[in-house]
Amino acid sequence: MSDFLRKPPNFYAGGLNRAAHLRKDEAWLAERLNDGSSLIVPVWRGNNLVASIEGEEPRAVFLAPDAIATAINEAILLGMDEERAIFACDLSEIETPQEAVQPAVPAQFVDLRRVGPLLPRQEGSLLAFARGIAYWHSRHRYCGMCGAPTKPEEAGHVRRCTNPDCNAPHFPRTDPAVIMLVHDGDRCLLGRQAAWPPAMHSTLAGFVEPGESLEEAVAREVYEETKVTVEDVTYHSSQPWPFPASLMLGFHARATTSAIEVDHSELEDARWYEREWLLAHQDDEHFRLPRRDSIARRLLEDWLGR
- Judged by the rule CB under 5 A, the positions of this chain that interact with Zn ion are 143, 145-146, 148, 161, 163, 166, 168
Nearest to 60 by CA among 5, 4, 130: 130
Q: CA 198, CA 125: separation in Å to the nearest integer?
A: 27
| CB of 141 or CB of 254, closer to Zn ion | 141
Q: CA 87, CA 40: separation in Å to the nearest integer?
A: 5
Min dist CB 140 to Zn ion, Å, is 11
Min dist CB 142 to Zn ion, Å, is 8
Q: Taking the CA atoms of 122, 125, 131 and 136 in sequence, report the sign of the dihedral they define.
A: negative
Min dist CB 132 to Zn ion, Å, is 24
Min dist CB 136 to Zn ion, Å, is 17
Which three-class secondary structure state does DSSP give residue 36? coil
| CB of 139 or CB of 264, closer to Zn ion | 139
| CB of 8 or CB of 147, closer to Zn ion | 147
CB contact at 8 A, 268 and 192: yes
Please, which residues have CB within 8 angstroms of residue 48's CB and are 6 or more apart in sequence?
41, 42, 60, 109, 110, 111, 112, 127, 130, 131
Min dist CB 73 to Zn ion, Å, is 21
3-state secondary structure 269-283: EEEEEEHHHHHHCCC
**Long-range pairs of 256-262 with CB within 8 A, sequence gap ≥ 24:** 256/229, 256/230, 256/231, 257/227, 257/228, 257/229, 258/184, 258/228, 259/227, 259/228, 260/189, 260/226, 260/227, 260/228, 261/226, 261/227, 262/191, 262/225, 262/226
Q: CA 103, CA 31: separation in Å to the nearest integer?
A: 23
| CB of 52 or CB of 162, closer to Zn ion | 162
Min dist CB 162 to Zn ion, Å, is 8
| CB of 143 or CB of 233, closer to Zn ion | 143
Min dist CB 147 to Zn ion, Å, is 7
| CB of 150 or CB of 246, closer to Zn ion | 150
CB contact at 8 A, 227 and 204: no
| CB of 53 or CB of 146, closer to Zn ion | 146
Nearest to 76 by CA among 120, 119, 138, 123: 138
| CB of 59 or CB of 140, closer to Zn ion | 140
Min dist CB 164 to Zn ion, Å, is 9
